[in-house]
Each structure stands twice: as C-alpha cells, then as structure tokens.
Amino acid sequence: MSSHTFAIIKTGGKQYKVEQGHNIKIEKLEAKQGDEVVFDNVLLLHKENDLKIGSPFLIDAKVTGKVLDQFKGEKQIIFKYKPKKRYKKKNGHRQNYTLVKIIHV
C-alpha cells in the first residue's frame, strides 16, 4: 500500500479524496453494514507517478469499499427570524451518514 496512491470520487453530490485503508464519512448509501460498495464515478486517479484525469469521469476506474456503519450526524438547528414581525421558526435536522472503509483504489 503506497501512500502516494489516491483517487478523487464523486458520491452524494460531493467529491472525496480517498486512499486505500482510510475511512470516509459520506451521505447515506442504500447498503447494509458489511456490504461491499463500488464507486465508479472516479474523477482523478494518482498511482505512483501516473496521474489520470477524467472528463468528467475516468472509464474503467473503480474504487471499492466496505460499509462499516450507518449512523446519524449531530443535530443542526435551523432558526428563522424576521425582526419586528413576531416571526420565529425553529427546526432541527440530523443527516444520515454511511461510514465506508476504502478497500481498493
């Protein structure tokens, strides 16, 4: 496992830099704990001294991972307020996340 091997993937509308053996927290995937997931939206792949950039995605490049956990993030408070109008509204939101261990880049 070389520390110079990494990829940039796109999932859940966001981009993540991933390396083999690292854990990433991404927006919820429809997979159970222990399932293997494949990310095929690879934007960039860097192995040793070889750099490949997709336009927008690389063909035949895949990153595989294993689902470690499904959990909810901390509660975010949404507070809306309009001065001098007696308008206040308070809501909360907890985002669902998936913890994935990257197996192969």
pLDDT in tens, 17-70: 999 999 999 999 999 999 999 999 999 999 988 899 988 899 989 999 999 999
pLDDT band at 3, cuts 50/70/90?
low
Residue 71 inside a domain? The answer is yes
Which backbone phi and psi does 94 adopt, to 5 degrees? Answer: -125, 115
Number of domains observed in the structure of the chain: 1
39 or 2: whose pLDDT is higher? Answer: 39
**pTM, entire model:** 0.82
Token output for 32: 């159970």
Residue 1 inside a domain? The answer is no
Average pLDDT over residues 73-99: 97
Cα 105–Cα 49–Cα 38 angle in degrees, nearest 5: 10
| Domain interval for residue 59 | 6-104
